[in-house]
Amino acid sequence: MLDLKFVREHPDQVKENIRKKFQDEKLPLVDEVLALDLQIRTLKQQTEQLRSQRNRESTLIGTLMREGKKDQAAVKKEEVSQINEKITEIESELIPLETALKEKMMRIPNIIDSSVPIGRNDSENVEIERFLEPKVPDFEVPYHLDIIEKLGGIDLDSARKVAGNGFYYLIGDVARLHSAVLAYARDFMISKGFTYCIPPYMIRSNVVTGVMSFSEMDAMMYKIEGEDLYLIGTSEHSMIGRFIDSILSKEKLPYTLTSYSPCFRKEKGAHGIEERGIYRIHQFEKQEMIVVCEPEDSMKWFEKMCSYTVELFVSMNIPCRKLECCSGDLADLKVKSVDVEAWSPRQKKYFEVGSCSNLGDAQARRLGIRIKGEKGNYFAHTLNNTVVAPPRMLIALLENHLQADGSVDLPEVLYPYMGGIKKLKPVKE
């Protein structure tokens, strides 16, 4: 959410930013916000004037009573009573106006960084850099589900009976590999100085609306019926929520945290073949990283966090690339975002495995996360980045390390987490 003062003083810049995000339908919001803001400020000014008048009248009542002028004091008391009624009337009028203002403000997108390329959707994202040489083997790479099934590592049919589509049972060494990747990612981030954390897997609605836009909330979140609780779509939600209504000490910044959690997502809409199997599912696990820092440090941390994900993939010998998200592909709260994509030898193209985002002070402003400054408190900046999300990481790992006989050579960094197992072998029929 933007600073209301900024919208008031720079409405044209706010509108231009909306156009850059190709959300012209939101342009009227700016004028609506300004009109509501003026109306609210006018009413608040009236209440301040009425309070001043009430204070004067109350002082006069005391003087009249001391002078024995009870009749005149009684008249003034009636006038004070009428003033109080008027103040109450205006305050009740303010409530729906302030609610409407906040709702409209939360729909106006954050100001994107000047470095963000302008484009309508993800087809116009811009490649920044590639890491490791992508290779296509001289044998046909099967669909990832077929690879996993030959390894005896998945049971989709039973999962459908138990929970429906979008769920799976991972089994045996494939399940172990799933956990190994998470454990390696955890230790990798700890080695970078991040503090490991396991957060709540459910959060309240005020945290949900603090960390994401309404459209994201509707598309992603599962609500617990009858309670003010939502299942998290990523641990970033509860990790950032940890700092709600906090005033942070400059000496303790930055907070650098890496968190494990299961994630739950609706994943609305129909998807093609590449998003079947375990690519797009309702439940998965993820290692995440978040940073809460000084505003002037957020871009430095953005670059650093993104480099960690690339380094992790390279350490497992998985070719990848960084892709700059264009303006139209940025969620409303984001200032800047880079996707990390892994190479798929089967598809002969890259696919998304993680995303690094700088949200500026948008989440902090919504959640009330401030830094105590010498000249007053100010909002912190928040960032988040995927370390690994094993379903997609597994696809990348299995495809890039698949051998002609259907076995999978594991990267050396995972040996300690696999009990010394160096290769996954197909199970006998």
Other beta carbons within 10 angstroms of residue 103's beta carbon come to 14
The pLDDT of residue 275 is above 60: no
- DSSP codes joined into one string, 30-70: HHHHHHHHHHHHHHHHHHHHHHHHHHHHHHHHHHHHHTT-H
119 within 8 A of 328, measured Cβ to Cβ: yes
pLDDT in tens, 353-406: 999 999 999 999 999 999 998 889 999 999 999 999 988 999 999 999 999 999
Residues in the chain: 429
The pLDDT of residue 271 is above 70: no
b/e map of 284-293 (b: 16 or more CB within 10 Å)? bbbbbbbbbb
What pLDDT does 102 receive? Answer: 94
- DSSP conformation class of 402: B
- DSSP conformation class of 374: T
What pLDDT does 276 receive? Answer: 62
Tokens for 285, please give them.
Answer: 């696990």
What pLDDT does 348 receive? Answer: 96
SS3 362: helix
**Predicted confidence band at 214 (pLDDT cuts at 50, 70, 90)?**
confident
Nearest to 394 by CA among 370, 414, 377, 368: 414
- DSSP codes joined into one string, 310-357: HHHHHHTT--EEEEEPPGGGS-TT-SEEEEEEEEETTTTEEEEEEEEE
Q: Across all residues in the chain, what is the average pLDDT?
A: 94
pLDDT in tens, 119-135: 999 999 999 999 999 99
What pLDDT does 429 receive? Answer: 58
Tell me the C-alpha distance between 428 and 150, whole Å.
8
What pLDDT does 13 receive? Answer: 98
- Give this prediction's pTM: 0.90
Give how far Cα 163 sits from Cα of 34, 57, 74, 153, Å. Answer: 48, 69, 72, 18
Average pLDDT over residues 256-268: 90
SS3 88: helix
- What H or E segment, with its residue span, contains residue 378? strand 378-379
Tokens for 318, please give them.
Answer: 């998985």
In the chain, % of residues over pLDDT 90:
86
The pLDDT of residue 428 is above 60: yes
What pLDDT does 270 receive? Answer: 42
pLDDT in tens, 306-315: 999 999 999 9
Q: Which residues make beta-bridge pairs with 356?
A: 338, 385
What pLDDT does 213 receive? Answer: 78
pLDDT in tens, 28-51: 999 999 999 999 999 999 999 999
The dihedral formed by the CA atoms of 116, 121, 125 and 131, expressed in degrees to the nearest 10: 120
Structural domains in the chain? 4-105 (1.10.287.40), 122-424 (3.30.930.10)
**Predicted confidence band at 239 (pLDDT cuts at 50, 70, 90)?**
very high
Q: Is the C-alpha dihedral spanning 420, 309, 257, 301 positive or negative?
A: positive
Average pLDDT over residues 279-296: 93
CA gyration radius, the chain: 28
More confident residue, 272 or 96: 96
Q: Which residues make beta-bridge pairs with 350?
A: 343
346 within 8 A of 143, measured Cβ to Cβ: yes
The pLDDT of residue 274 is above 50: no
Q: How far is CA 221 from the centre of its chain?
A: 12
Residue with structure tokens 């303010």?
A: 94
pLDDT in tens, 96-107: 999 999 999 999
